[in-house]
Structure 1
Amino acid sequence: MATIEECRAALDQLSESMGGAEGDVRAAASLDRSVSCHITDLDVTFAGRLGGGRLHVHDTRPGPPRERAQIRLAMTGDDLLALVRGDLHFARAWGSGRVRLEAGLRDLLRLRTLL
Structure 2
Amino acid sequence: MATVDECRAALEGLAAKLASNGAAQGKLDFERTLACRVPDLSTAFHARLSGGRLVDIADGDDPKAKIALTANSDDLIALLGGRLDVTRAVASRQISIKANPFDLLKLRKLL
Q: TM-score, normalised by structure 1?
A: 0.84
Show the counterpart of 1:48: 47
Distance 1:57 1:92 in 2: 28
Q: Does 1:97 align with 2:93?
A: yes
Instruction: Give the deviation of 1:32 after TM superposition.
Output: 0.9
Aligned residues, how many? Answer: 109
Distance 1:23 1:66 in 2: 28
Q: Does 1:84 align with 2:80?
A: yes
Gaps in structure 1 of 5+ consecutive residues: none
The residue type equivalent to 1:100 in the other structure is S
CA change 1:66–1:111 in 2 (3 A) is closer
Distance 1:58 1:10 in 2: 11
Q: Does 1:20 align with 2:24?
A: no
Greater per-residue helix proportion = 2
Distance 2:95 2:56 in 1: 19
The alignment's C-alpha RMSD in Å is: 1.8
CA contact (8 A) 1:46 1:57 kept: no
Distance 2:85 2:110 in 1: 11
Identity %: 39
Q: TM-score, normalised by structure 2?
A: 0.86
Distance 2:56 2:71 in 1: 16
Distance 1:86 1:111 in 2: 15
Instruction: Give the deviation of 1:57 after TM superposition.
Output: 4.0
Aligned to 1:113, the other structure's residue is in SS state helix
